[in-house]
Amino acid sequence: MKQEPINLVDKHDRRFPYLRLSITDICNFRCEYCLPDGYQCSSKPKFLTRDEIQRLVTAFAGLGVWKIRLTGGEPSVRRDFSDIIDLVSHTPGIETMAFTTNGYRLRDNAQIWYEAGMRNLNVSIDSLNRELFHKITGHDRLPSILAGIEKSLEVGYDSVKVNVVLLKGINENSLNDYLDYVKGRPVTVRFIELMQTGDNLDYFRKRHLSAEVIRSRLVELGWIENIRVNGAGPAVNFTHPDYLGAIGLIAPYSKDFCAGCNRLRITSTGDLRLCLFGNIGIPLRDLLQSDDQKQALQQRVMKQLNYKKSSHFLAQGETGLIPNLSSTGG
């Protein structure tokens, strides 16, 4: 498939072929670092419709975006999730379809979603210990989720990744468990530093742990850092000749983390976020109501790129509009 030229370029000369599209902010898990009290909503939210999603994705594809990741909340809580996969994956110009999930529906739907056009998935598993997983997420579903990953490997997904949020005093000593897990599986486990959000400051101060702890251990064990490929996310990946899988690190507090930023974000109600931790959301929904608004939509997006900053300011405690990671797709 021929890629469109990348027209999404900011004043720091960063290109954006990658869009993270939230289709809901509802999540049915109660992860203690994100939604410890579960999803709370005072009124029924009006998430983007399939028609709006189609117009949005078509417009971004016309600007050179070729990778779409569906996020949430938990994207698969939407009853029309398979239909959304189908329409996005068949949009001209979109070459890579991915989504991030807690995995609760994966075992029963891996084949269905693959047939709809999904090819890459990230599954959040913060511990391979069943009791600890239950404690962190509020759900005793680890065996089912692991079975879902096995089903996905059997189906033939191009990429299967496991996301692990590093939590000091909880899972910081779990590297060996994950190394055993990837020994004979073509799975990438990615350790992600806990990020401060608008409502987790106390928890962040107690549980934040630098990814350097994992990096140092990997180097000691002979793991080799790989060159970052085009269109990849922010992870630094490591491989080892004795392992079928890989290990990745996502360290948003590290120096120059934002220099390679290549993605934009859309919230579940149609706001453009130039940064996960930005202070403003740019409404796009008014330009998603008819097909003939495509050019106006594209012009608004390109104009806003002029305001994208060189970096987030997490180190200074500025978390922007994000109250929790479920609200903008993490």
- The CATH number of the domain holding residue 148 is 3.20.20.70
**Domain housing 132:** 18-327
314 domain residue, yes or no: yes
At 233 the pLDDT is 64
At 276 the pLDDT is 75
Q: Tens of pLDDT along 141-150?
A: 999 999 999 9
Q: Tens of pLDDT along 83-142?
A: 999 999 999 999 999 999 999 999 999 999 999 999 999 999 999 999 999 999 999 999
Query: What's the rounded Cα separation, in Å, for the pair 30 and 90?
Result: 33
The enclosing H or E element of 201 equals helix 201-207
List % helix, strand, coil for the chain (3-state, nearest 5).
Answer: 35, 15, 50
**Mutual orientation of helices 81-89 and 106-116 as an angle, nearest 10°?**
30
128 domain residue, yes or no: yes
- In the chain, how many domains are there? 1
Per-residue pLDDT for 319 more than 50?
no
For the chain, the distance separating the N- and C-terminal CA atoms, rounded to the nearest angstrom, is: 29
11 domain residue, yes or no: no
Taking residues 242-247, what's their average pLDDT? Answer: 98
Cα distances from 90 to residues 16, 56, 115, 172, 224, in angstroms, run: 20, 14, 12, 41, 37
226 domain residue, yes or no: yes
Closest alpha carbon to 165 in 131, 198, 137:
137
1 domain residue, yes or no: no
Where b means 16+ CB within 10 Å and e means fewer, 132-164 reads bbeebbbbebbeebbbbbebbeeeebeebbbbb
302 domain residue, yes or no: yes
Asked whether the beta carbons of 56 and 106 are under 8 A apart, the reply is: no
Q: Tens of pLDDT along 71-84?
A: 999 999 999 999 99
At 277 the pLDDT is 63
Query: What's the rounded Cα separation, in Å, for the pair 10 and 266?
Result: 17
Amino acid making up residue 248? G
Place of tokens 């189906």: 155
At 325 the pLDDT is 59
Q: Tens of pLDDT along 33-87?
A: 988 888 887 677 799 999 999 999 999 999 999 999 999 999 999 999 999 999 9
- Around Cβ 311, how many Cβ atoms within 10 Å? 15
5 domain residue, yes or no: no
197: Cβ contacts below 8 Å, ≥ 6 apart: 204, 319, 322, 323, 324, 325
- Show the CA angle centred on residue 236, arms to residues 267 and 34, nearest 5°: 40
Amino acid making up residue 42? S
160 domain residue, yes or no: yes
- Which segments of 57-139 are extended strands (E)? 67-71, 96-101, 120-124
**3-class SS of residue 239:** strand
pTM of the model: 0.90
Query: What's the rounded Cα separation, in Å, for the pair 266 and 270?
Result: 6
